[in-house]
Structure 1
Amino acid sequence: MEEMTLVKYEVANRIATITLNRPEKRNALNAEMVTQLKQAFTQAAGDESAKVIVLEAAGDSFCAGADLAYLQQLQNNTFEENLADSNHLKELFLQIYQHPKVVIAKIQGHAIAGGCGLATVCDFSFTVPEAKFGYTEVRIGFIPAIVKVFLLRKIGEGKAKSLLLTGELIPAELAESMGLVNTVVEAIELDREVANFAQMLVEKNSGQSMTYTKQMIAAVQSMEVEEALNYAAEMNANARASEDCQKGIAAFLNKEKIVW
């Protein structure tokens, strides 16, 4: 496993922090950075000391999307080579979307194109008012291909079209009203708000229950109603037999504090 230099991984208070660490390039994504992000999220999945993940970035920008110099190099690639590179990014987004642990984006600056995609696939997102969001691919002759799949699920077709087809950057408050991000908070309060929210999830919720719930949200949307309900009933039955459910219900009935 290669040493991570473009991404940092730390754990404290049962919260894993994954940091985009390429501030001189506005944390733009290239193949190596995507590889290291995948490596960090894999590490977090197996890290028993981490219950929740915060994705943050160094510098002034959260993520400027794909590294355009890197994209220019790829124009000399074969279709097969470009498909492999596209799949590399797809796997990262899917990994975050389907990750067994809750992922919170802490957005301290602009999140553009693929960077906006990164924020989109996280489960929760906190942003500063100054941050801009948008998918600018159509303005440089590119397409927002992979991120679109997740954006449609998150905010619906009408709002997704207004972002993807115009290529316009929108302010944080509009991103919040569209459902693209959850919370706008002043920069001076960002660290504290995210830490408090993450700690609340750690202390108050069953990790197993959050995993199952997140997994089901991702799965049921592509199912027919009856199939989705059958799947939900099975998951419901499985959950009743789980250690966490037995522990939680027993503590509640005995009026004891549940320690997760």
Structure 2
Amino acid sequence: MNYLKYEVINRIAFITLNRPEKRNALSHELVSELMEAFDAASIDEAAKIVVLCAEGEAFCAGADLAYLQKLQSFSYEENVADSNHLKDLFLKIYTLNKVVIAQIQGHALAGGCGLAAVCDFSFTVPEAKFGYTEVRIGFIPAIVMVFLLRRIGEGKSKQLLLSGDLISAEEACNLGLVNYLSTVESLEQDVLDFANKLIRSNSAQSMAATKQMVAAVQSMPLTEALNYASSMNAKARGSEDCQRGIAAFLNKEKLIW
């Protein structure tokens, strides 16, 4: 891979954006490599948690504007195909069968902010800025909007998407866009500690099923959602992990997943 790195260390798959000279901007090639990396992580038996991080000062500056300018000469059909390429990446991360933690060491803007928003958890530093700046260049935050609405709701999403303003890491945390603030010095360790807590304490099967349900139930009518929930509940009761977990609790045994 030319634009990112993939490695597994102690049950954590690290996917590292490695295009610092372009502020890790999302070119077609980088999106393709991210798709490949998340596909690999989803089936990698050595990895239980995925951490998405980046090299350089910026986490991700969003779409590569030079590539975006090139796309203006493409046909509508070609642009739909390219848009679907990015949509497929965001959907893959959002529905991945493993928990994804964003380690945001620098600015996350436009599509880069969307990339952070589709992760399950996010840690950032006070110096980082966040924002959806598409409207300032005559573009629209189309694909990221779908996921942002789910994450923080309509009112807060409009505030960010229509203003195009950059906000501080603290503001992003208050809005629910990111989960945790860390210092520059402690960011990596904080992410590792959190990932290891999930690895030790939680069933991978249970986390995957919970993610699947969170993605599915929001678009279902109430009765359909409850029927689906009842079905998933019944399946979970018969799972090996549930049997192990309940037995360990009743026997007062410490279970390491």
Which TM-score band (shorter chain)? over 0.9
Partners of 1:202 and 1:90 lie apart in 2 by 29
- Provide the alpha-carbon RMSD of the alignment: 0.4
Match of 2:237 in 1: 240
Q: Secondary structure at the match of 2:59?
A: coil
Residues 17-166 of structure 1 mapped to structure 2, 5 A cutoff: 17-166=14-163
CA–CA distance in 2 between the matches of 1:139 and 1:43? 36
2:166 is aligned with 1:169: yes
Tell me the amino acid that sits aligned with residue 111 of structure 2. G
- By how many angstroms is 1:257 displaced? 1.3
User: Could you state the TM-score of these two structures normalised by the residue count of structure 2?
Assistant: 0.99
Residue 141 of structure 1 aligns with an amino acid whose one-letter code is G
Q: Does 1:222 align with 2:219?
A: yes
3-state DSSP of counterpart to 2:147: helix
Percent pairwise identity: 69
Structure 1 Cα separation of the partners of residues 247 and 183 of structure 2: 41
Deviations 1:206-247 (A, max 9, x none): 000000001101100001111111000000000000000001
TM-score by length of 1: 0.98
Aligned partner of residue 8 in structure 1, secondary structure: strand
Give me the whole-angstrom Cα distance separating, in 1, the residues matched to 2:207 and 2:220: 21
2:162 maps to a residue whose letter is: L
1:200 aligns with 2:197: yes
SS at match of 1:122: coil
In structure 2, the partner of 1:189 is 186
* Alignment-mate amino acid for residue 191 of structure 1: E
Q: SS of the counterpart of 1:188?
A: coil
1:96-149 Cα distance to aligned partner (Å, 9 max, x none) = 000000000000000000000000000000000000000000000000000000
Counterpart CA distance in 1 for 2:5 and 2:77 is: 31
Residue 166 of structure 1 aligns to which amino acid in structure 2?
S
Partners of 2:184 and 2:216 lie apart in 1 by: 35
Is there any run of 5+ residues in structure 2 with no aligned partner, and where? none
Instruction: Report the counterpart of residue 209 of structure 1 in structure 2.
Output: 206
Other-structure match for 1:11: 8
Q: SS at 1:125's partner residue?
A: strand
Deviation, 1:7, is 1.1
- Bigger drift between 248-257 and 100-109 goes to 248-257
Deviating beyond 2 angstroms after TM superposition, the runs of 4 or more aligned structure 1 residues are none
| 1:259 CA displacement | 2.1
SS of equivalent to 2:127: coil
Residues of 2 paired with 1:217 and 1:73: CA distance?
37
Structure 2 counterpart SS, 1:161: helix
Amino acid at match of 2:29: E
